[in-house]
Amino acid sequence: MLLLVGLGNPGPKYALNRHNIGFMAVDEIVRRHSFSPERQRFQSLTYEGTLGGEKVIAMKPMTYMNESGRAVGEALRFFKLEPQNVVVIHDELDLPANKLRIKTGGGAGGHNGIKSIIAHIGENFRRIRIGIGHPGTKERDQVLNAVLGDFSKTEMKWVEPLLDTIVAEAPLLGEGRFNSFANRVHLALNPEPIKAEKPKTPKESGDK
């Protein structure tokens, strides 16, 4: 079983925040892979389904970002899972916008939702980090405004294709093919340019 956790803050005023891209990704996976109707448990909204033949519990903690670990810890204990069965999707300031990376373990990197989860279940869980870009300053107020600000219409032009690709490749997560998932998302968003063929010489083309 896989516990797929999207991070964000509950409520409509946060729905399109950059900080809520984890919620947005889980919403699309749940909708387009025909998960069960929403249930309220583990201080979260939860959904059951399958990805790549594996049972998946998708969840969106309703604890607010900074207490996400309470919800994840409760679900982990209920299902008797290990941290390596947990995949968390979250925003990442230190990645350029429209980039996706996967890592297992390590610190929180300043992300309070990840910090809370580490405090409750340890650090040995996978993270799907979605770059939202850094505002270019370390001023706390400006960083918070960027993180808690809504995606602009221009940004949504990359957010929507990124979410589409995550949904399309999500079965790989159920199969445990995490590196393949990351690679396929990268290639879909950054297709290799088609190399132009060199013109053939008269000899190569068969001309005499």
Of 171, 156, 170, 182, the closest CA to residue 15 belongs to 156
Which tokens in the block code for residue 81?
């899972």
Instruction: State how far the alpha carbon of 134 is from the alpha carbons of 18, 82, 93, 138, in Å.
Output: 11, 33, 5, 9
Contact 62, 10 (CB under 8 A): yes
Q: Is 19 a catalytic residue?
A: yes
Q: Is the dihedral of CA 147, 149, 155, 159 positive or negative?
A: positive
Active-site choice (19, 33, 111, 120): 19
Surface-to-core class of residue 133, CB atoms within 10 Å of its CB (0-12 exposed, 13-18 middle, 19+ buried): middle
Q: How far apart are CA 121 and CA 74, in angstroms?
A: 10
Pairing of strands 86-92, 2-6: parallel
Q: How far apart are CA 171 and CA 155, in angstroms?
A: 26
Instruction: Give ∠ CA 58-181-72 in degrees, rounded to 5.
Output: 25
Residue-by-residue DSSP string for 166-194: HHHHTHHHHTT-HHHHHHHHHHHHSPPPP
Catalytic residues: 19
